[in-house]
Amino acid sequence: MLVEFTIGVVCIFVYYYVKFHHTWKYWEHHNVPFVKPSFPFGSSPTISWETFTSPQNFNQTALNEAKKRGFPKVYGTYFFHNPIISICDPELAKHIMVKDFDHFVDRQGEFLAEHATTSHLVDQLWGRQMTALRGDQWKATRNAFTPIFTGGKLKGMIHFIHEVTHDLVTSIGQEADRGTPFELKEKFGRFSMDTIASCAFGVKANSFQEDKSTFAMNAGAMFRNSPMDLMKFVLLVAVPRGRALLECLGVPLQKKAPTMFLYDIITQTVDHRLRTKTRRNDLVDLMIDAMKADPQSSNHPEEPVEDSQFDKDAKLNAPDFQPLNVDEMTLVATAMVILVAGYDTTAQTLAIASFHLARNPDIQEKLHQEIMDAVATMEDDKPYPDYNLIQSLPYLDMVLHETLRINPALGLISRTCTKDYIIPGTNIPLKCGQDAHIYVSAIHMNPDIYPDPKKFDPERFTKESKANRHPYSFLGFGQGPKNCIGMRFALLEAKLALFGVLRSYKFVTCPETIDTYTLDPSSILATPKEPLLVKVEKRK
């Protein structure tokens, strides 16, 4: 048994060595500079700009040579045994994400879509999520759910976010009374969890009141990977017949218990709403509306047209796909993707914004002043800002954009080539099925685009500063038809949270506050590895 196991492991290593050599040769053949990634299996989302530009990867002669061939704007690398083209240039990002979108409709290639799943209900629920869908299925699903995230729809559910903000502010008040340091990621994790539970699942998660809230425990389990999860993944993608083995054992790749917990919650909520005809105008109701809608009339004529460049770029041209008949599975998968894509990203953005505010008191004071000016315009009986007021605060918006510039939740955005392509301005061919990685963190940390890039400076996002740089140099929410569908929701909840807290409290540093953090290499998101500890003080 031990001998067979050892032979198996050696074979896998030999296979990957040969494949690695092959991808390196492949990029050499196409005259593309090659970078060996720091992550063992390949391309890592937490790679920094310095990694590209320091001679760590090359000696000086090789670096000069690579620069002549387009490095670091574009270079070749690998993920598992697949050659990957990496893009670190806003103009090329614009081509791939927007202009030539019909060559890059998918986020993951056939290899992962076919191999990293089983026929188990749990995996089918994950496979139906917008982030995993491909081609016409993705287009139809995106088209069906885009209308639920418009500004008009969000206005109708702002009071649910107010309720959770109230719990957050109460909890911050308790921290101020205690006067001891607390961890920001954990605090805003509760806020983000309760907001999504309320708006997308129709339940109260009570994370602030209960340390072991059942919803929060189950939903949180979706984000924790055990060694067993990693083993299942490697078995599926790297071991021949690994998938057949899992199928045979009836074991899903994804986490069974929390997925089924969420499945039960959302199906019960939908069932209850349909039976009792109760309506809350939250995301659950809007998803039910999408389920009831006639797919043939799904060009949503009643929706006001959003007119920012970001929205214009998001339009799916030539809807050549069959409109989607939304069924219960798709509804459940969409509720789950809201949690999967919206929970950690928003919590982390709020935590990092608060960390930088604590470290930069002058910026925090400027933001506080903007908030107090807004409070002065609010009617006495209205404790919370309404939709129009919260959206009218430029500095709040600038602080959040700078947070996502300095720490984009997704440091790497992937696209799969769905139609053969030549990278503009080069001779680099991309064959259908090959992946392109857009290195958001590298673009955001490029000193030619953002001088002194490690400095937290919201002034980079004034109208004038934005007009002076390439319009695709901020990719915090992606770009093009596959951009973040929940961006408005995320910004609304983050703004309401900061408004609620900063109106009465001040984040301050303490001896436990670190100067800078490093990124957790095991996380898919660009997540700080160290605890972000600060204190709060009540304002007089």
Nearer to ligand HEM, 436 or 502 (CB): 436
The position carrying tokens 């919260």 is 390
Nearer to ligand HEM, 237 or 341 (CB): 341
Cα–Cα dist 100/421, whole Å: 9
Coil/strand/helix, residue 82: strand
**Residue 199 known to bind ligand:** no
Nearer to ligand HEM, 489 or 507 (CB): 489
Nearest approach, Cβ of 458 to ligand HEM (angstroms)? 16
Rule CB under 6 A: choose which of 161, 193, 390, 413 binds ligand HEM.
Answer: 413
Nearer to ligand HEM, 326 or 485 (CB): 485
Q: Do 351 and 525 form a contact (C-beta atoms < 8 A)?
A: no
Cα–Cα dist 279/259, whole Å: 25
265 CA to centre of own chain: 24
Q: What ranges in 407-483 are assigned the alpha helix state H?
A: 440-444, 463-467
Query: Could you say whether residue 332 binds ligand HEM (CB under 6 A)?
Result: no
Q: What ranges in 129-282 are assigned the alpha helix state H?
A: 135-145, 151-155, 158-178, 184-200, 214-221, 227-238, 242-249, 256-276
Q: Do 142 and 485 form a contact (C-beta atoms < 8 A)?
A: yes
Cα–Cα dist 105/481, whole Å: 9
Q: Do 489 and 158 form a contact (C-beta atoms < 8 A)?
A: no
Nearest approach, Cβ of 275 to ligand HEM (angstroms)? 26
Residue 164 belongs to what H/E stretch?
helix 158-178
Pull the structure tokens for residue 147.
């209308």
Rule CB under 6 A: choose which of 345, 364, 473, 513 binds ligand HEM.
Answer: 345
Nearer to ligand HEM, 490 or 502 (CB): 490
Size of the residue set binding ligand HEM (CB under 6 A) = 26
Burial of 294 (C-beta count, 10 Å sphere; 0-12/13-18/19+):
exposed
405 CA to centre of own chain: 13
Query: Could you say whether residue 461 binds ligand HEM (CB under 6 A)?
Result: no
The neighbouring-strand residues paired with 76 are: 34, 85
Per DSSP, 377 falls in state: T
Query: Could you say whether residue 410 binds ligand HEM (CB under 6 A)?
Result: yes
Query: Could you say whether residue 404 binds ligand HEM (CB under 6 A)?
Result: yes
Query: Could you say whether residue 338 binds ligand HEM (CB under 6 A)?
Result: yes
Nearest approach, Cβ of 430 to ligand HEM (angstroms)? 17
Nearer to ligand HEM, 263 or 477 (CB): 477
Per DSSP, 95 falls in state: I
Nearest approach, Cβ of 314 to ligand HEM (angstroms)? 9
Nearer to ligand HEM, 63 or 484 (CB): 484
Per-residue burial over 105-136, b = 16 or more CB atoms within 10 Å of its CB, e = otherwise: bbbbbebbbeebbbebebbebbbbbbebbbee
Nearest approach, Cβ of 485 to ligand HEM (angstroms)? 5
Query: Could you say whether residue 46 binds ligand HEM (CB under 6 A)?
Result: no
Q: What angle do CA 289, 385, 363 make, to 5 degrees?
A: 120
Nearest approach, Cβ of 337 to ligand HEM (angstroms)? 5
Rule CB under 6 A: choose which of 57, 349, 407, 418 binds ligand HEM.
Answer: 349
Nearest approach, Cβ of 228 to ligand HEM (angstroms)? 27
Nearer to ligand HEM, 109 or 478 (CB): 478
Q: Which H, E and C letters describe 23-56, residue by residue?
A: HHHHHHHCCCCECCCCCCCECCCCCCHHHHHCCC
Rule CB under 6 A: choose which of 409, 412, 533, 536 binds ligand HEM.
Answer: 409
Range in contact with ligand HEM (rule: CB under 6 A) among 3-11, 211-219, 333-341, 382-390: 333-341
239 CA to centre of own chain: 29
Other Cβ atoms less than 10 A from the Cβ of 201: the count is: 23
Nearest approach, Cβ of 424 to ligand HEM (angstroms)? 18
Site for ligand HEM in 478-497 (CB under 6 A): 478-479, 482-486, 489-490
Other Cβ atoms less than 10 A from the Cβ of 56: the count is: 11
Query: Could you say whether residue 428 binds ligand HEM (CB under 6 A)?
Result: no
Nearest approach, Cβ of 478 to ligand HEM (angstroms)? 2
Cα–Cα dist 369/82, whole Å: 51
Sign of CA dihedral 49, 52, 56, 59: negative
Nearest approach, Cβ of 144 to ligand HEM (angstroms)? 11
Nearest approach, Cβ of 131 to ligand HEM (angstroms)? 5
Nearer to ligand HEM, 158 or 246 (CB): 158
Range in contact with ligand HEM (rule: CB under 6 A) among 113-121, 322-330, 340-348, 457-465: 340-348
Cα–Cα dist 316/480, whole Å: 9
Query: Could you say whether residue 346 binds ligand HEM (CB under 6 A)?
Result: yes
Rule CB under 6 A: choose which of 32, 157, 337, 396 binds ligand HEM.
Answer: 337
Query: Could you say whether residue 406 binds ligand HEM (CB under 6 A)?
Result: no
Pull the structure tokens for residue 234.
């490697």
Nearer to ligand HEM, 168 or 409 (CB): 409
Binding positions for heme are 484
For the annotated binding site, the residues are 484
Q: Under the rule (CB under 6 A), what is the footprint of ligand HEM?
A: 97, 130-131, 142, 337-338, 341-342, 345-346, 349, 404, 409-410, 413, 476-479, 482-486, 489-490
